[in-house]
Amino acid sequence: MKILRTPDSRFENLADYPFAPNYTVIKTHDNSDLRIHHLDEGPADGPIVLCMHGQPVWSYLYRKMIPYLTAAGMRVIAPDLPGYGKSDKPAALEDYSYERQVDWMGKWLEQNDFSDITFFGQDWGGLIGLRLVVNHSHRFARVVVANTGLPYNPEVAESVVKEVENFRANAPTPTLPQMQKAISKMEGNQATMFAYWQKFCWESEDLPVGFMMSMMMEQPSVVVSAVKFLLHRAGMTSPFPTEIAKAYEAPFPNPSFKMGPRAMPSQVPTLPTSPSLEEQRLAWEFFDKFDKPFLCTFADNDPVTAGIEKQFFARIPGTKGLPHDTIKKGGHFVQENAPEQVSQAIINLIHST
């Protein structure tokens, strides 16, 4: 397996990221060495909070939450998924199956021997992390999730399956504005609208990660946004990059390093024909009986995951009786937009259970 490694120089002088790196080397299916990076902040004997990020970000996303959690005595472990951040980056599409990510992070977890964990996951961090809870349940004491899910859709209408598969195979690559418009309409039509994100990511060889994250998280004025979008359409991947744009683009020296963010949306099991369907069914069987604390901290303004928390409430016994506070104006990336609200929810859960 071909594996790329981002030079350390790419991470020099990042704003608000003073954290020391920690590395674990695991073996992949073909006996390759894969180096996974994580942060380890706070008191060594404090309760462990395992914070997992999604796509297309990395542990930089947790820089605002870490001070709140460590001030409350928590030990924060925040890994970078393979393909992201300071972790190694397998170079091929087939390297990024859902099951391989679960396997890689499971090996990382076992090798570090973390236990009595409070898990926090958002976006793909939830998809992968919840499967870690299933596979290594003895290591987890409680779960907190935000804007994520455990997708399992065995009964999508055949007409919808054909529509999505035809769109992904034959439609023109969506533009960035087209993709954003589709994502804003996801509630109630998830598989069809999410296909825009899948297709945009996979067919954008130089996926504009830094630019997208800056526009989502910083929400510049209408005039500034219009100028930046015009420059982006003219060929500038990241016009007038802010500190956030630079940080989220840092892991990717050139487009060849972006296979993880490009490939992983297509691995989300949104259809009955998706990979990992059986593994997701078994995961839900596990969570149908999961009675450890399971807290939802979803934002009130995230179109991508709106309403998904209802499935957790309906099926997971551990959700009962907990204060599932809605995160006000958290957007999709609550860690960036509402770090104090989310951190306090985690701290309260640990103290009360």
Domain ranges of the chain: 3-153+273-352, 158-267
Grade residue 59 by pLDDT with cuts at 50, 70 and 90.
very high
pLDDT at site 228: 72
Which pLDDT score is estimated for 188? 55
| Nearest one of 207, 251, 211 to 58, comparing CA atoms | 251
Sorting pLDDT into bands at 50, 70 and 90, what band is 89?
very high
* Cβ–Cβ < 8 Å for 257, 96: no
Q: What is the pLDDT of residues 191-209, one digit of tens each?
A: 788 999 999 999 999 999 9
**Span 214-247, pLDDT tens digits:** 988 987 776 777 777 677 676 767 777 899 999 9
Q: What global pTM score does this model have?
A: 0.95
Mean pLDDT of the 325-340 span: 95
- Give the model's pLDDT for residue 187: 61
pLDDT of residue 138 exceeding 90, the answer is yes
Q: Which residue has the tokens 């860690």?
A: 335
Which pLDDT value is given to residue 189?
60
Residues 92, 97, 100: CA angle, nearest 5 degrees: 100
Instruction: Give the list of residues 6+ apart from residue 166 with CB closer than 8 angstroms, or none.
Output: none
What 8-state DSSP symbol labels residue 237?
A: S
Rounded to the nearest integer, the mean pLDDT of the chain is: 94
pLDDT in tens, 287-313: 999 999 999 999 999 988 989 999 999
Tally the C-alpha atoms within 13 A of residue 66's C-alpha that lie toward its C-beta.
22
Looking at the annotation, which residues are catalytic? 123, 302, 332
Express each pLDDT in 71-88 by its tens digit: 999 999 999 999 999 999
Tell me which of 3.40.950.10, 3.40.190.10, 3.40.50.300, 3.40.50.1820 is the CATH number of domain 3-153+273-352.
3.40.50.1820
